Amino acid sequence: MSGFNDRFLRACRREPVDVTPVWLMRQAGRYQPEYRRLREKHPMLELCTNPELAAEVTLLPLRRFELDAAILFSDLTIPFLAMGISFALKENVGPVVAQPLRTEQDINTLRVMEPEHDLPFVAESIRILRRELNVPLIGFAGAPFTLAAYLVEGGASRDYSRVRAMIYCEPRLWMRLMEILAENITRYLRMQIEAGAQAVQLFDSWVGAVNPAVYRRYILPVMQGIITALRTFGAPIIYFGTGTASLLEAMQETGADVIGVDWRVLLDEAWLRLGYRCAIQGNLDPAVLLSSADTVRAEVQDVLRRAGGRPGHIFNLGHGVLPETPIENVQVLIDTVHAR
């Protein structure tokens, strides 16, 4: 075993690195045959809640590729288990919430978690992983808007119009829901950091459904609260969303150390808009990995060129690895990033 690889953490702090660090959202996923074999034997929720299995799945991509960070294998819905929310994870659909939240009574049923007690397997997975890994381990949680989107809509949606309607119709109810989620997520991520996660990512996957005015009024204050509370623990905080081309400046006001961007923006333009005052993570289009090795190389180089060798770039996809992705193209991606 070679020494600890801290490229990823250095880039989070915008310190110089030898080569650009790279990890991939859903780096443990269906594109890997060994993952598919495990999924045949175990339902998704079992992989997330059994600490040995979660650690094993987390390590799968690290065994194959020279990735610069591991991310705890889990799911955005895991905190729901501790909040009294009944849901199912449907293949190719995502979470389906049994009783979508619509009224004040619905929201008042939500519990505030005691993560060590309610979700002990998460800390246990993290402790196992820290013994095994020689790269940093990233913990994560869904951000309040994205979790609220699932809870109000009842599942994934094309444009979350029901969620937007709740914001306009019942802003106080919305803020109450956001605050309960924020309290849960803060506790959950704090527990992950205390158990050994060396960075955390807040996935606000669907926040691109709102405009900057709504974001600043109904989302930003809650995000600032979470990030301020976590900041004292010293682990870098990555804040990622998709479809956020109009929200980048507002997202930066959360105080996150790293802003994660999807493929819909050009990395150079996004980082310029952020004034280089934070690190940036992204943003190869995951669909590029379905094409030829030459195209993968060219498009990876284009992202690196746009990052301009400036300290503070973490290479990633613009969203998760697609299940149809050929393994060989992931290798080409990583080799191309590290060749610089």
Q: Is 104 in the site for its own copies (CB under 8 A)?
A: no
The partner residues of 142 in beta bridges, in order of sequence, read 203
Q: Which of 10, 14, 26, 306 is catalytic?
A: 26
Which CB sits closer to its own copies, 50 or 331? 331
- Is 111 a residue of the active site? no
- Residues contacting its own copies: total by CB under 8 A: 38
Identified catalytic residue from 6, 14, 35, 75: 75
Least spacing, CB of residue 288 vs its own copies, in Å? 5
Q: How many residues make up the chain in this entry?
A: 340
- Residues from 248 through 277 that contact its own copies (CB under 8 A): 263-266, 269
| Residues whose CB falls within 8 Å of the CB of residue 139, separated by 6 or more in sequence, listed in order | 71, 72, 126, 189, 192, 193, 197, 199, 200, 201, 235
Q: Do 12 and 309 contact (CB within 8 A), yes or no? A: no
* Residue 151, phi then psi, degrees to nearest 5: -70, -40
CB of 185 to its own copies, least distance (A): 24
Q: How far is the CB of 217 from its own copies (least distance, A)?
A: 12
Q: What is the DSSP string of 89-154?
A: EETTTEEEESS---SHHHHHTPPPP-HHHH-HHHHHHHHHHHHH-SS-EEEEEE-HHHHHHHHHHS
246 is a site residue for its own copies (CB under 8 A): yes
Binding mask 132-171 for its own copies (x = CB under 8 A): ------------------------x-xx-xx-xx-xxx--
CA 124 to chain CA centroid, nearest Å: 20
Residues 312 and 278: beta-carbon distance below 8 Å: yes
Catalytic residue from among 150, 215, 218, 239 = 150
Among 151, 319, 333, 337, binds its own copies (CB under 8 A): 319
Which residues 284-303 are close enough to bind its own copies by CB under 8 A? 285-288, 290-292, 295, 299, 302
Residues identified as active-site? 26, 30, 39, 75, 150
Where on the chain is the footprint of its own copies (CB under 8 A)? 156, 158-159, 161-162, 164-165, 167-169, 208-214, 242-243, 245-246, 263-266, 269, 285-288, 290-292, 295, 299, 302, 319, 322
